[in-house]
A and B are shown apart, each in its own frame.
Chain A
């Protein structure tokens, strides 16, 4: 009897596996949420669309406000049901949901994840958004619109945009005899300021360099690069990069301008409670710094011999494959709402994220907002680091992040770290289809 049961289980499992693999296509079944029967198919009258995103924390609070305001006030007949979850779980759940046609009608996540979804055909091509909704594409910064495209097709509508910025603590500058209104403009200045601002006895650090992240801005400033996505070429093993890594190691290991092995969130905390003088991060620091009462300034990342560049990122609205045409039309309406000056202004003002709408940029209260205009200015040096490249996460997780980690930790020499990363990169690039 048990043997029969065992055999049955194995057969069942085999059938299930086979069924899984062949069922991942076709129209979406109506197994989405069931609250207020969003099944009406008469041209967009009271559509309810489900919307998943990763905006946990205080950003999520602001997003919630905007969405509920939209729900109660909009004349489009659209109602949004939003679910927020942490990014890890989101990236685990969404692919499986899309594969089983139980995905939400609209999603919002970081543009760095888009490439994989597009490659597997999991997102709808929404290039027709601009014309269908009558939104002027040219009103928005070109690079912002482009970074939501893959292979020239629009798969995401930009929701927010940012690069990495240099924050500095004006009070600590003053205490060290530096002009609090003059942040370092070149890499050399950055290094010398960092050393001056590192006071071990006070547990004060000059420049926080967390592990677990990449520093393309430093590589680019000296004329180096990681790879060329369009040709799958490995550009890592260069003299310029070696120089950069040696410079970083000197700062981290010899001059000890950063505490050892800190994570991004620990660095956030240290900067927010005044234990560090300089830190490179995104706009999300601003609210925390204001709460903590830090007298801070924000500017673009310093330039090297080849110029100043900062890795660009952002979030975009996407439509999972299989969403019905009606839901898609409803989602478009919300996206158009988001791109309005009013909403973009709310988002930027409340979060400190830069403005990328030309019409909004002209408004006086944007121009007069010191932090916003500094950030917006500093965003102009944005450069794509492997955005839209499906190998991006593998390159970072397997080669580049370990490389920078070992430099900052001092656990490998720059030559060794660079060579190892480059070899790894070769393996990854050669497996590219």
Chain B
């Protein structure tokens, strides 16, 4: 008993040492700029940082009546609500298909991972050229089978769904890799036992696989939500927020206010990012506490 207690105290001290390198780096290089940006939201300051004055909550007051911010909030949430489930479910299903370590599965896994390692600029150019209704190869093909006229990224209502599909296309490979690794870790004997009991595929999936990889699934869901709410590169490269702001996300607006449009107000841009941060924090918190935290012993997220 005494040995265990000693071990515990030693563990505590070691724990702090273990997280020390990360803590220092995060504190200095991530946390400090972050706090700085929150402070900036209370200032009147532009990118040139010359005439700085205290603004108090003025930037936030302006944000409350900003219709474009609302439009972008809607777009961002629209994107997230569709992209995350679509990606996770697709990845989950595919990973159960390719979890076995057969040669064929290994080839499939390598292929599915490919889109993830391409840079977004490349993906942007490739899909812009492939989907262009006037010059693209895909609409050209569709036209030949009579399905011409689909404007994909140029259509106000199709643009966001198209972006969502492209995002899923790009990212599902990574999620799939994580889930596959987790599935492989589920002890085989559990399945054997279930099969002896006569469990079918669906039962095995829901009662063994899913609970077995639940921490990983939760991780994927949470990180994907956080990332999706911050989507910038994909719409910026492919549609620049168009047509008519239908695909503009919050981070695009932040970037626009701070760096593209006079008066290059870093203060206002930071205020929007505080607003976004609150959205992300609240949604993540809700997910953690109420939706995903079903099992205490698995320390699930």
Contacts from A to B (Cβ < 8 Å): 1, 5, 9-10, 12-14, 16-17, 20-21, 24-25, 88, 91-92, 95-96, 98-99, 115-117, 120-122, 203, 211-212, 259-263, 266, 269-270, 273, 275, 390-394, 397-398, 402, 405-406, 409, 411
In the bound complex, CA of A393 to CA of B261 (Å): 5
In the bound complex, CA of A121 to CA of B51 (Å): 10
- The residue that B36 contacts in the complex, of A5, A16, A263, A411, with Cβ under 8 A, is A16
Question: Does B243 lie within 8 Å of A116, measured CB to CB?
Answer: no
Cβ-closest chain A residue relative to B24: A5
Q: Is B45 an interface residue (CB 8 A)?
A: yes
Question: Does A21 lie within 8 Å of B263, measured CB to CB?
Answer: no
In the bound complex, CA of A5 to CA of B26 (Å): 12
Cβ-closest chain B residue relative to A22: B52
Would you call the interface of chain B mostly helix, strand, loop, or mixed?
loop
Contacts from B to A (Cβ < 8 Å): 16, 23, 27-28, 31-36, 39-40, 43, 45-52, 128, 132-135, 151, 154-156, 240, 242-245, 256, 259-264
A9-B27, A212-B240, A394-B261 given as contacts; is B36 within 8 A of A20 (CB)? yes
Q: Give the distance to chain B from A271, nearest Cβ to Cβ, in Å.
A: 11
In the bound complex, CA of A411 to CA of B244 (Å): 8
Instruction: Please name all residues of chain A whose beta carbon is closer than 8 Å to the beta carbon of B263 when the two chains form the complex.
Output: 116, 390-391, 394
Instruction: Please name all residues of chain A whose beta carbon is closer than 8 Å to the beta carbon of B52 when the two chains form the complex.
Output: 21
A-B contact pairs, 12 of them (CB 8 A): A12-B28, A24-B48, A25-B50, A88-B259, A95-B48, A95-B264, A99-B48, A99-B50, A121-B50, A203-B134, A391-B262, A394-B262
Instruction: Please name all residues of chain B whose beta carbon is closer than 8 Å to the beta carbon of A402 when the two chains form the complex.
Output: 244-245
Question: Does A409 lie within 8 Å of B134, measured CB to CB?
Answer: no
Question: Does B242 lie within 8 Å of A261, measured CB to CB?
Answer: yes
Question: Does A275 lie within 8 Å of B135, measured CB to CB?
Answer: yes
Question: Does A122 lie within 8 Å of B48, measured CB to CB?
Answer: yes
In the bound complex, CA of A373 to CA of B181 (Å): 66
Question: Does B135 lie within 8 Å of A261, measured CB to CB?
Answer: no
Instruction: Please name all residues of chain A whose beta carbon is closer than 8 Å to the beta carbon of B245 when the two chains form the complex.
Output: 402
Cβ-closest chain A residue relative to B259: A92
Question: Does A21 lie within 8 Å of B256, measured CB to CB?
Answer: no
Instruction: Please name all residues of chain B whose beta carbon is closer than 8 Å to the beta carbon of A260 when the two chains form the complex.
Output: 133, 151, 154
Instruction: Please name all residues of chain A whose beta carbon is closer than 8 Å to the beta carbon of B16 when the two chains form the complex.
Output: 1
Instruction: Please name all residues of chain A whose beta carbon is closer than 8 Å to the beta carbon of B133 when the two chains form the complex.
Output: 259-260
In the bound complex, CA of A10 to CA of B243 (Å): 41
Question: Does A13 lie within 8 Å of B50, measured CB to CB?
Answer: no
Instruction: Please name all residues of chain B whose beta carbon is closer than 8 Å to the beta carbon of A393 when the two chains form the complex.
Output: 260-262
Cβ-closest chain B residue relative to A432: B263
Q: Give the distance to chain A from B141, nearest Cβ to Cβ, in Å.
A: 14
Instruction: Please name all residues of chain A whose beta carbon is closer than 8 Å to the beta carbon of B45 when the two chains form the complex.
Output: 21
Question: Does B134 lie within 8 Å of A275, measured CB to CB?
Answer: yes
Question: Does A406 lie within 8 Å of B135, measured CB to CB?
Answer: no
A5-B23, A10-B35, A411-B156 given as contacts; is B48 within 8 A of A117 (CB)? yes
Q: Which of B27, B36, B45, B134 has the most CB of A within 10 A?
A: B134
Question: Does B134 lie within 8 Å of A13, measured CB to CB?
Answer: no
Question: Does B46 lie within 8 Å of A13, measured CB to CB?
Answer: no
A211-B243, A409-B243 given as contacts; is B39 within 8 A of A14 (CB)? yes
